[in-house]
């Protein structure tokens, strides 16, 4: 993930999505590939994807905006997703989330000042039996408490 | 198989039945104690509606597929669990449905309460007051309270917990704002988008997708954040992909999408069903009014051409009818150098009649003529040609069809025996392969294009023959299987090569040809078309079409199931226009694609009544019903009816009139509703012809360009101000009804009658229906047509006579009208208009969605925001070598003349081809076009002109002197007191 590179061009976007054009349901894989490359979905990708897939700009925008995971602004180095669904709530998830945000001094969707961690809410990670749960980047962590969360945040450099 | 866009109803029933019609085996069920039988697949909601019981609903509409999101239409079904949504539940045999159980009533109130908790309580000051489905539904479910305390919402700009926007405005000074509130988007000139009133039912989004097929709208976000968005957050309605067809506005159950005219004028109190006066689709509209003030035009759901859909022109661009430029008083002048003088009708008519009679005495009976209008009604056109034949005593009558579809009349007449398209528009629902040749339906015939696109999304294949990559070639969810970007002027070569493939690859439908066509002619044709010189490979260098694509397209058309051909002026406006039309008919006969639904050959007519003006005997050689004037038995019918002798000698066509005028033998012209100076080719020549005449009578809404050379101006009436009929491209005779009194005092047919009587005739029609009765009495294909029949049936397609008392949707069903179908050899002859060193590019012309022909009407509406001027499309390669950049002024020159306009760089056109429109008199694209024309009908070759493009600083000398002349010529002296 590079954030200081120049804004992608029409051709850059086309080059990234070209290998996926023959997939069935290609839009989501394309969006993931773009986000992997740029950390965000660049605005310019909307008309390009519309052209490549013969969709309208509105449709592409509708899909991107439906999924909160597709970002408009870049995230921090790590993304911490804290579960806010019922099972986690019942096991103290809310309090854990509040204390985590308080420690980092940020609100949901925000990134710490040093750019290390972005905190996002998530609704169920499928770990209800071991609640409360969270996910740091691609790693799911369950049976969380404040101490374990602090360890995680330290690890992430927050 | 579901109904296409709008289902069938009992006549006159305007209710929204909630979901589209289905056709299937009958299923019987009981709804609230009433038995009803409906086709299998019908929703419970629709079945209930057909039983007379309207289930409350918000997200359902019978022109959209059921969506099941509003949860207001829940019902109880005996033996089933829960409360299913009636819109998404199909009927089943023996089903027993309760729409008003206490359980569903409670649910509905709860749902409604939630809706209203996020909706401002401003009903009395809302533009949709009295025309709001949310209001109606709240009433139906008996909502009596909203118990939710003010909280997070989308409607209160102040963020202070106001329940209405008026209250919010009072509280506004508080330093607080609601981040969820989005202000109105007023960017579209005709309607506003107010997200604060939106209930997110998705009807607009679905209408844009399912009905219009543009996909310009979406739901952005999810959950409570969901909102309707035109394009991306960087867009507003105007900059989005929206084509302003109005389908979303019509679909909206609230005031979220609302016509600006309704906001300004209030909800309409009466309506009149009439027919649009723009293109040849002939959409039916409900003109909705307050008194004599037109509030809005709403597409009529029972209109058989449009099935409840519309485009930006018919739906919104009617403001020209009340534009300040309209001339409402007759005017005269001795010479065109003088200013106009306003006079009373009597004086103007006496002046015109005196001059015309004088000219005939001085220069002979054949020195005067008329031009009928394809924009006027059948009745008016009939009277104008009658004026020439019965009062002037000659056959000098022609019509603007001369410059558009005259080759269609000739070509289809020679091959099929009838000068008209073979299908109705519904037919496209049954097509498997659609071929579009030289037509741009998304711009020129948008409502047909929407129906076509719907069929393409269902899986039909598309082949496009066009030098330009039009939107139908590729746009959201539509992609042509083959686009053959032929070089302008090579239509005949391409069509013949397609026939070559069909014949040599054994794809001919021999059984059809043996039964339906002249076998000897067929064999002669086969010998011709089989020759190797017609093969796609040998034609490739000439046409620019890759041989492989051409073979693929021909095979697809011949073998892909029901094949239908739709074509436009890109076929007819060529030196071999008639030949191409015959070549198209040959293709249809070769493959047996004639005589049933889903197939056929269909000209997309440019003007609302171009079919009708041809039917009504506007041509100099044909009396009404396409019967030659030299035939004594035909003349006799009219001589008897009119009590005059008819000249057996065919008269002059428009170009001949102008030539004769320059020569000094043609002196007087009555031109109704047509601007020949701007629309006809080679403007210099037209101007010279008009200038040489001694009496030019222009009968029009505006002082058009032709009027600069006129001596008499008779004010015309708009389509809103008259009774009559238009005949659309599918031969459908549609009623035009008087929505308001003529602003100029007379309907156009009355003016023609006044002029005829001033010249000594003794006509006394008192209503347009009497003229139709005379047409029916004299013209066999109209024998059964009357205003009474049209009022009863809505519309009928001719032939409508003893054999087909209710009209003929599909022609040539069992046999060709002429007996046998005729194959005609189509030898390609290159046009004399060739590119060369001086003029290396080929110019082709066309039109754009927001404007209509010479733009006299659409330029006088807000449609100019989309297309304020004509621009020249040029390929980036051609632009680069000429040093032309995007937006530069360029000089466009041909051997006829030159003009200047701005350039836009695009790869829609191939290198070597440039394209422009002719909507604006400032550009005068027809200064450049030449006087070459179709060999059979003189239809001008607008579509091929060799040109050169070079950078320029601004308007040419000619443009400046033209503007000066036009301004001088338009001076009007105030009427004498």
Domain of B39, CATH number, reads 3.10.20.740
Structural domain including B48 reads: 26-141
B229 reaches A (C-beta below 8 A): yes
On whether the CB atoms of residues B195 and B227 are closer than 8 A, the answer is: yes
**Which tokens is B27 given?**
């299923």
> How far apart are alpha carbons A60 and A68 in whole angstroms?
14
When pLDDT is cut at 50, 70 and 90, the band that residue B523 belongs to is very high
Q: Which residue of A has its CA nearest to B227?
A: A62
Q: Of B409, B400, B372, whose CA–CA distance to B572 is shortest?
A: B409
Q: Of A43, A60, A62, which has the smallest distance from its Cβ to B219's Cβ?
A: A62
Q: Which residue of B has its CA nearest to A66?
A: B221
Q: Are the beta carbons of A61 and B218 separated by less than 8 Å? A: yes
Residues with Cβ < 8 Å from B155, sequence gap 6 or more?
Answer: B118, B119, B120, B165, B181, B196, B197
B475 reaches A (C-beta below 8 A): yes
B224 reaches A (C-beta below 8 A): no
Q: What is the DSSP letter of B421?
A: -
CA distance, residue B226 to nearest chain A CA (Å): 9
Q: Which residue of B has its CA nearest to A54?
A: B476
CA distance, residue B488 to nearest chain A CA (Å): 27
How far from the centroid of its chain's Cα atoms is residue A103's Cα?
21
CA distance, residue A32 to nearest chain B CA (Å): 18
Higher pLDDT, B215 or B972: B215
Q: Which residue of A has its CA nearest to B474?
A: A54
**B466 and B583 co-located in one domain:** yes
> How far apart are alpha carbons B826 and A153 in whole angstroms?
81
Q: Of A43, A59, A62, which has the smallest distance from its Cβ to B234's Cβ?
A: A43
A10 reaches B (C-beta below 8 A): no
- State the DSSP H helix or E strand holding residue B947, giving kind and residue range, or none if neither: strand B945-951
Tell me the chain B residues in contact with residue A65 when contact means C-beta distances shorter than 8 Å. Answer: 220-222, 229
pLDDT of residue B1: 35
Can you give the CATH number for the domain in which B341 is found? 3.40.50.740
pLDDT of residue B919: 84
pLDDT of residue B8: 44
Residue carrying the six token digits 């009587």: B757
On whether the CB atoms of residues B251 and B61 are closer than 8 A, the answer is: yes
> How far apart are alpha carbons B311 and B296 in whole angstroms?
13
Q: Are the beta carbons of A58 and B229 separated by less than 8 Å? A: yes
What sign does the dihedral B778-B784-B788-B793 (CA atoms) show?
A: negative
Burial class (CB in 10 A: 0-12, 13-18, 19+), B344: exposed
A62 reaches B (C-beta below 8 A): yes
Instruction: Establish whether the linkage from the previous residue to A132 is cis, with ω within 30° of 0.
Output: yes
A114 reaches B (C-beta below 8 A): no
Q: Which residue of A has its CA nearest to B219?
A: A62
For an interface test with A, which of B208, B232, B236, B469 has the most A Cβ atoms less than 10 Å from its Cβ?
B232
CA distances from B631 to B206, B407, B637 (A): 56, 22, 11
Tell me the chain B residues in contact with residue A56 when contact means C-beta distances shorter than 8 Å. Answer: 214-216, 218, 231, 241, 476
The residues facing B436 across adjacent strands are B464, B566
Q: Which residue of B has its CA nearest to A58?
A: B231
Residues with Cβ < 8 Å from A151, sequence gap 6 or more?
Answer: none
pLDDT of residue B920: 80
pLDDT of residue B967: 87
Res B974 pLDDT > 90: no
pLDDT of residue B127: 95
Sheet of B96-98: strand order equals B34-39, B26-31, B96-98, B76-77
Q: Are the beta carbons of B214 and A43 separated by less than 8 Å? A: no
**B448 and B595 co-located in one domain:** yes
Read off the pLDDT of residues B304-331 as tens digits, 9 standing for 90 and up: 999 999 999 999 999 999 899 999 999 9
State what percent of residues in chain B have pLDDT above 90: 79
CA distance, residue A23 to nearest chain B CA (Å): 17
**B664 and B792 co-located in one domain:** yes
Tell me the chain B residues in contact with residue A46 when contact means C-beta distances shorter than 8 Å. Answer: 232
Domain assignment present for B289: no
B481 reaches A (C-beta below 8 A): no
Domain assignment present for B812: no
B214 reaches A (C-beta below 8 A): yes
Domain assignment present for B268: no
Read off the pLDDT of residues A68-119 as tens digits, 9 standing for 90 and up: 999 988 999 999 999 999 999 999 999 999 999 999 999 999 999 999 999 9
Res B607 pLDDT > 90: no
Tell me the chain A residues in contact with residue B241 when contact means C-beta distances shorter than 8 Å. Answer: 56-58
On whether the CB atoms of residues B40 and B22 are closer than 8 A, the answer is: yes
Q: Are the beta carbons of B216 and A54 separated by less than 8 Å? A: no
For an interface test with A, which of B218, B237, B453, B478 has the most A Cβ atoms less than 10 Å from its Cβ?
B218
Q: Are the beta carbons of B241 and A59 separated by less than 8 Å? A: no
Provide the 3-class DSSP secondary structure of residue B192: strand
The C-alpha angle B728, B730, B731, rounded to 5 degrees, equals 70
CA distance, residue B895 to nearest chain A CA (Å): 39
CA distance, residue A63 to nearest chain B CA (Å): 8
What sign does the dihedral B522-B524-B530-B533 (CA atoms) show?
A: negative
**B592 and B525 co-located in one domain:** yes
On whether the CB atoms of residues B916 and B925 are closer than 8 A, the answer is: yes
pLDDT of residue B9: 47
Range in B12-16, B729-733, B770-774, B948-952 the model is least confident about: B12-16
**B104 and B135 co-located in one domain:** yes
DSSP string computed for B703-760: --SGGGG-SEEEE---GGG--EEEE-TTSEEEEE---S--TTSS-HHHHHHHHHHHTT
Read off the pLDDT of residues A11-48 as tens digits, 9 standing for 90 and up: 999 999 999 999 999 999 999 999 999 999 999 999 99
When pLDDT is cut at 50, 70 and 90, the band that residue B933 belongs to is confident
Read off the pLDDT of residues B224-248 as tens digits, 9 standing for 90 and up: 999 999 999 999 999 999 999 999 9
Looking at every residue in chain B, the average pLDDT score rounds to: 92
Q: Which of B603, B623, B642 is the last residue of a domain?
A: B603
How far from the centroid of its chain's Cα atoms is residue B756's Cα?
32
Q: Which of B797, B825, B856 is the last residue of a domain?
A: B797
CA distance, residue B219 to nearest chain A CA (Å): 6
Res B557 pLDDT > 60: yes
Q: What is the DSSP letter of B18?
A: S
**Count of alpha carbons within 13 Å of B865, Cβ hemisphere only?**
14
**B650 and B708 co-located in one domain:** yes
Maximum Cα interatomic distance, chain A, rounded to a whole number of Å: 51
Q: Are the beta carbons of B476 and A55 separated by less than 8 Å? A: yes
> How far apart are alpha carbons B472 and B478 in whole angstroms?
7
Tell me the chain A residues in contact with residue B214 when contact means C-beta distances shorter than 8 Å. Answer: 56
Res B348 pLDDT > 70: yes
Average of pLDDT values for B333-362? 95
Average of pLDDT values for B63-88? 96
For an interface test with B, which of A48, A58, A63 has the most B Cβ atoms less than 10 Å from its Cβ?
A58
pLDDT of residue B6: 36
Residue carrying the six token digits 């070759």: B941
Tell me the chain A residues in contact with residue B479 when contact means C-beta distances shorter than 8 Å. Answer: 54
B219 reaches A (C-beta below 8 A): yes
pLDDT of residue B128: 95
**B865 and B888 co-located in one domain:** yes
- A78-156: CATH number: 3.40.30.10
Read off the pLDDT of residues B257-282 as tens digits, 9 standing for 90 and up: 999 999 999 999 999 999 999 999 99
Q: Are the beta carbons of B218 and A55 separated by less than 8 Å? A: no
Res B597 pLDDT > 60: yes
Res B857 pLDDT > 90: no
Res B966 pLDDT > 90: no
**Which tokens is B446 given?**
């948008």
Q: Are the beta carbons of B232 and A58 separated by less than 8 Å? A: yes
Q: Which residue of B has its CA nearest to A50?
A: B476
Beta strands in chain A (DSSP E): 78-83, 117-122, 134-136, 139-141
Q: Of A54, A57, A66, which has the smallest distance from its Cβ to B231's Cβ?
A: A57
Average of pLDDT values for B526-540? 95
Tell me the chain B residues in contact with residue A61 when contact means C-beta distances shorter than 8 Å. Answer: 218, 220, 229, 231-233
Q: Of B215, B474, B475, which has the smallest distance from its Cβ to A59's Cβ?
A: B215
Domain assignment present for B898: yes
On whether the CB atoms of residues B846 and B468 are closer than 8 A, the answer is: yes
Q: Are the beta carbons of B221 and A65 separated by less than 8 Å? A: yes
Read off the pLDDT of residues B879-908 as tens digits, 9 standing for 90 and up: 999 999 999 999 999 988 888 999 999 999
Domain ranges of chain A: 10-66, 78-156
**B63 and B43 co-located in one domain:** yes
Can you give the CATH number for the domain in which B846 is found? 2.40.40.20
A and B: number of Cβ contacts within 8 A: 55
Q: Which of B110, B141, B172 is the last residue of a domain?
A: B141
When pLDDT is cut at 50, 70 and 90, the band that residue A2 belongs to is very low
Q: Of B214, B229, B475, which has the smallest distance from its Cβ to A61's Cβ?
A: B229
pLDDT of residue B720: 95
- State the DSSP H helix or E strand holding residue B398, giving kind and residue range, or none if neither: strand B397-399
**B628 and B740 co-located in one domain:** yes
**B599 and B628 co-located in one domain:** no
Q: Are the beta carbons of A61 and B232 separated by less than 8 Å? A: yes
Count of domains observed in chain B: 4
Q: Of A54, A58, A65, which has the smallest distance from its Cβ to B230's Cβ?
A: A58
When pLDDT is cut at 50, 70 and 90, the band that residue B549 belongs to is very high
**B658 and B721 co-located in one domain:** yes
For an interface test with A, which of B208, B214, B215, B237 has the most A Cβ atoms less than 10 Å from its Cβ?
B215
Sheet of B270-275: strand order equals B270-275, B284-290, B293-299
On whether the CB atoms of residues B204 and B217 are closer than 8 A, the answer is: yes
pLDDT of residue B11: 52
Domain assignment present for B274: no
**B595 and B707 co-located in one domain:** no
């Amino acid at each position: 993930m590079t954030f200081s590179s120049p804004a992608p061009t029409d051709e850059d976007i086309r080059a990234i999505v070209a290998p996926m054009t023959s997939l069935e349901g290609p839009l989501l894989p394309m969006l993931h590939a773009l986000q992997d490359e740029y950390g965000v979905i660049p605005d310019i990708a909307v008309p390009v994807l519309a052209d490549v897939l013969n969709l309208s700009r509105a449709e592409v925008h509708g899909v991107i905006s439906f999924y909160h995971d597709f970002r408009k602004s870049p995230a921090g180095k790590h993304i911490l997703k804290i579960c806010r669904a019922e099972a986690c709530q019942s096991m103290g998830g809310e309090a854990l989330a509040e204390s985590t945000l308080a420690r980092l001094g940020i609100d949901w969707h925000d990134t710490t000042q040093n750019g290390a961690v972005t905190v996002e809410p998530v609704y169920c990670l499928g770990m209800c039996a071991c609640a409360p749960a969270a996910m740091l980047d691609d790693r799911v962590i369950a049976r969380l408490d404040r101490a374990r969360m602090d360890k995680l945040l330290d690890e992430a450099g927050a | 198989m579901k109904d296409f866009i709008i289902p069938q109803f009992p006549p006159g029933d305007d209710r929204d039945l909630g979901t589209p019609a289905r056709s299937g085996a009958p299923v019987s069920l009981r709804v609230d104690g009433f038995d009803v039988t409906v086709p299998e697949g019908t929703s419970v909601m629709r079945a209930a509606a057909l039983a007379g019981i309207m289930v409350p609903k918000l997200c359902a509409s019978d022109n959209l597929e059921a969506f099941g999101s509003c949860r207001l239409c829940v019902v109880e079904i005996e033996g089933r669990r829960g409360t299913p949504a009636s819109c998404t539940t199909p009927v089943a045999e023996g089903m027993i449905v309760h729409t008003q159980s206490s359980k569903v009533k409670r649910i509905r109130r709860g749902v409604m309460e939630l809706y209203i908790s996020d909706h401002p309580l401003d009903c009395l000051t809302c533009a949709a007051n009295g025309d709001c489905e949310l209001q109606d539904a709240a009433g139906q479910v008996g909502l009596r309270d909203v118990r939710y305390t003010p909280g997070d919402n989308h409607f209160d700009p102040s963020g202070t917990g106001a329940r209405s926007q008026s209250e919010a405005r009072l509280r506004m000074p508080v330093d607080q704002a609601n981040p969820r509130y989005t202000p109105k988007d007023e960017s579209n000139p005709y309607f506003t988008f107010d997200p604060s009133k939106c209930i997110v039912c998705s009807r607009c989004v679905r209408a844009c997708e399912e009905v219009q097929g543009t996909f310009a709208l979406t739901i952005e976000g999810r959950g409570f954040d969901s909102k309707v968005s035109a394009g991306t957050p960087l867009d507003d309605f105007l900059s989005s992909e929206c084509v302003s067809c109005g389908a979303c506005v019509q679909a909206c159950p609230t005031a979220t999408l609302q016509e600006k005219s309704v906001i300004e004028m209030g909800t309409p109190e009466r309506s009149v069903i009439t027919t649009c006066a723009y293109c040849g689709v002939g959409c039916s509209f409900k003109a909705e009014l307050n008194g004599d003030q037109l509030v809005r035009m709403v597409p009529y759901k029972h209109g058989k051409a449009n099935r409840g859909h519309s485009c930006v022109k018919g739906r919104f661009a009617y403001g020209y009818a009340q534009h300040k430029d309209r001339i409402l008083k007759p005017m005269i002048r001795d010479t065109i150098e003088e200013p106009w003088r306003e006079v009373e009708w009597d004086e103007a008519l006496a002046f015109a009649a005196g001059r015309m009679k004088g000219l005939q005495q001085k220069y002979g009976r054949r020195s005067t003529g008329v031009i009928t209008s394809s924009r006027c009604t059948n009745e008016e056109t009939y009277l104008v040609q009658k004026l020439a034949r019965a009062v002037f005593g000659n056959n000098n009558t022609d019509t603007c069809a001369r410059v558009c579809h005259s080759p269609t009349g000739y070509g289809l007449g020679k091959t099929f025996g009838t000068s008209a398209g073979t299908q109705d528009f519904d037919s496209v629902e049954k097509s498997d392969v659609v071929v579009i040749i030289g037509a741009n339906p998304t711009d020129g015939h948008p409502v047909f294009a929407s129906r076509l696109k719907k069929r393409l999304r269902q899986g039909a294949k598309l082949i496009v023959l066009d030098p330009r990559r039009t939107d139908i070639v590729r746009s959201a969810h539509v992609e042509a299987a083959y686009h053959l970007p032929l070089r302008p002027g090579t239509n005949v070569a391409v069509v013949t090569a397609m026939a070559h493939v069909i014949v040599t690859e054994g794809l001919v439908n021999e059984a059809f040809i043996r039964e339906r066509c002249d076998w000897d002619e067929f064999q002669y044709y086969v010998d011709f078309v089989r020759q190797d010189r017609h093969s796609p490979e040998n034609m490739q260098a000439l046409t620019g079409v890759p041989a492989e694509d051409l073979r693929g397209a021909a095979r697809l058309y011949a073998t892909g199931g029901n094949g239908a051909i739709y074509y436009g002026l890109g076929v007819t406006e060529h030196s071999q226009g008639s030949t191409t039309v015959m070549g198209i008919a040959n293709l249809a006969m070769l493959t047996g694609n004639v005589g049933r639904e889903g197939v056929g050959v269909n000209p997309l007519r440019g003007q609302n009544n171009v079919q009708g003006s041809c039917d009504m005997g506007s041509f100099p050689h044909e009396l009404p019903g396409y019967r030659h004037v030299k035939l004594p038995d035909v003349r006799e019918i009219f001589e008897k009816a009119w009590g005059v002798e008819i000249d057996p000698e065919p008269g002059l066509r428009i170009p001949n009139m102008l030539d004769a005028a320059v020569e000094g033998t043609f002196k007087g012209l009555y031109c109704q509703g047509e601007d020949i100076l701007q629309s006809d080719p080679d403007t210099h020549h037209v101007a010279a012809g008009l200038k040489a005449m001694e009496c030019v009578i222009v009968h029009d809404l505006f002082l058009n360009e032709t009027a600069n050379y006129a001596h008499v101006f008779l004010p015309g009436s708009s389509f809103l101000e008259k009774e009559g009929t238009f005949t659309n491209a599918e031969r459908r005779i549609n009623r035009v009804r008087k929505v308001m009194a003529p602003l100029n005092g007379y309907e156009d047919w009355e003016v023609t009658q006044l002029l005829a009587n001033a010249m000594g005739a003794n006509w006394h029609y008192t209503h347009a229906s009497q003229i139709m009765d005379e047409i029916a009495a004299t013209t066999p294909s109209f024998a059964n047509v009357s205003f009474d029949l049209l009022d009863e049936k809505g519309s009928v397609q001719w032939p409508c006579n003893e054999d087909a008392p209710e009209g003929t949707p599909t022609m040539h069903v069992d046999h060709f009208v002429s007996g046998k179908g005729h194959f005609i050899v189509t030898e390609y002859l290159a046009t004399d208009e060739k590119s060369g060193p001086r003029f290396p590019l080929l110019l082709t012309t066309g039109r754009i969605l927001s404007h209509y022909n010479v733009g006299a009407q659409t330029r006088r509406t807000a449609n100019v925001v989309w297309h304020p001027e004509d621009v020249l499309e040029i390929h980036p390669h051609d632009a680069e070598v000429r040093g032309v950049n995007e937006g530069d002024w360029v000089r466009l020159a041909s051997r006829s003349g030159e003009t200047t306009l701005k350039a836009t760089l695009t790869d829609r056109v191939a290198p070597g081809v440039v394209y422009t429109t002719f909507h604006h008199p400032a550009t005068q694209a027809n200064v450049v076009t030449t006087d070459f024309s179709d060999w059979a009908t003189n239809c001008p070759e607008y579509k091929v002109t060799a040109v050169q493009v070079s950078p320029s600083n601004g308007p040419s000398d000619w443009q400046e002197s033209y503007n000066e002349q036009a301004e001088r010529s338009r001076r009007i002296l105030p009427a004498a007191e």
